[in-house]
Amino acid sequence: MGIETSCDETAASIVKNGKEIVSNVVASQIESHKRFGGVVPEIASRHHVEQITLVIEEALQLAEMEPHQLDAVAVTEGPGLVGALLIGVNAAKAFAFAHQLPLVGVHHIAGHIYANRLEQEMEFPLLALVISGGHTELIHMKEHGDFTVIGETRDDAAGEAYDKVARTLNLPYPGGPHIDRLAHASNDAVVFPRIWLEEGSYDFSFSGLKSSVLNYMHNAAQRGEHVAPESVAAGFQNSVVEVVTGKTMRAAEEYGVRQVIAAGGVAANKGLRHSLEIAFKEKEIPFYIPPLPLCTDNAAMIAAAGTVMYQKGLYGNMAMNGRPGMPLTSWI
């Protein structure tokens, strides 16, 4: 069983052998946070307490399983919102204790990467692009449980930049899908800079791009010019897509990987997905991206990663705590 409460989704799932989803329940709080224009941590924590046992029960019911049929309980230990994490962690501890099951603490990003294993067996060496509201990372894996972060964002996560740009375009929260949709409706994209950073770097930076968009809007407003939101959305998205695709491609070639996988909420973005698919097809490198419900936060991915940790004997204990700044470390 997997349990995930690191941000604004309360989720529980049962996964067989780390590969096969038996049940996957996600209670989203998006509606509760919309009016605030973003996730309010205290409200997220309150909702997790309301939902947690309901979600775990539903996961068992949909699977038509009893707790004693489970081998272990995996839970997101970090990173994430501290108050949100510790609801999942304490529920997992209490559930594991009640049924005397082994407990496994999973890194949220490892979960996102292992979401792919629910669709497609992983082949190593592998490159993972994790791109979401909280993360933008390129991770090289030589084998199961081996993680080397070769690039990460130096400022905003891609999803954050999407939300901020969406706000300046008066689009509702969460902004990603709206920008994606508008971008597709445009055929004269504004040209914004591509932020490549220094030569050879796999790191990302989105705050400069975000500022360019804001400046552009501000200058147009001062001149009293009308700005077509489609053109701005398309320009912003083009810049993100080109840089992310370019760096992912270069890393895949440099590390000679046998597989490239994408994960995280922003990976579901149509523009980005399309660009990555075309690029890797040309280079004949197998590229996979899980379906939307497995890109966004879910507990099946935590169970999938947790299964490999369980097989390696990496158990946690009752002193497990939510770790908001947990680093991604290898399991070997």
Partner 1 sequence: MIYLGIDTSNSPLAIALIEDGVVLIEETSNLKINHSLTAMPAIEEMMKKAKVLPADLTHIAVAEGPGSYTGVRIGLTIAKTLAWSLKIPLHPVSSLKVLAANGQGFDGLVCPIMDARRGTAFIGLYEGVSLEPVTADQHSDVKSFLLKAKELGLPILFTGVDVALHEALIIEILGEAAHFSGVQNRLPRASNLILLAQDTLESDVHHAVPEYRRITEAEANYNKAQEGQTL
Residues near partner 1 (CB under 8 A): 35-36, 40, 42-43, 45-46, 48-50, 52-54, 56-57, 67, 83, 86-87, 89-91, 93-95, 97-100, 317-319, 321-322
CB 118 within 8 A of CB 301: yes
Please, what is the minimum distance in Å from the beta carbon of residue 43 to partner 1?
6
DSSP at 150 = E
Nearer CB in complex with partner 1: 49/191: 49
Nearer CB in complex with partner 1: 105/235: 105
Please, what is the minimum distance in Å from the beta carbon of residue 326 to Zn ion?
13
Contacted by 297, from partner 1, Zn ion, none: CB < 5 to 8 Å by type: Zn ion
Options 4, 8, 163, 297; binder of Zn ion; rule CB under 5 A: 297
Please, what is the minimum distance in Å from the beta carbon of residue 186 to Zn ion?
28
CB 88 within 8 A of CB 6: yes
CA distance 80 to 126: 25
Options 5, 10, 24, 132; binder of Zn ion; rule CB under 5 A: 132
Nearer CB in complex with partner 1: 92/131: 92
Q: Is 298 in the site for Zn ion (CB under 5 A)?
A: no
Taken in order 48, 37, 135, 58, the sign of the CA dihedral is positive
CA distance 1 to 73: 5
* CA-closest candidate to residue 259, choices 135, 131, 121: 121
Q: Which residues on neighbouring strands pair with residue 76, listed in sequence order? A: 106
In the block, tokens 């989803």 appear at: 21
Nearer CB in complex with Zn ion: 132/269: 132
Q: Between 86 and 125, how does the x/- string for binding to Zn ion read (CB under 5 A)?
A: ----------------------------------------
CB 128 within 8 A of CB 261: yes
Nearer CB in complex with partner 1: 163/203: 163
CB atoms within 10 A of CB 253: 12
Structure tokens at 72: 């272990």
DSSP at 171 = P
Contacted by 36, from partner 1, Zn ion, none: CB < 5 to 8 Å by type: partner 1
Q: Is 238 in the site for Zn ion (CB under 5 A)?
A: no
N-terminal to C-terminal alpha carbon distance within the chain: 23
- What residue ranges bind Zn ion (CB under 5 A)? 132, 297
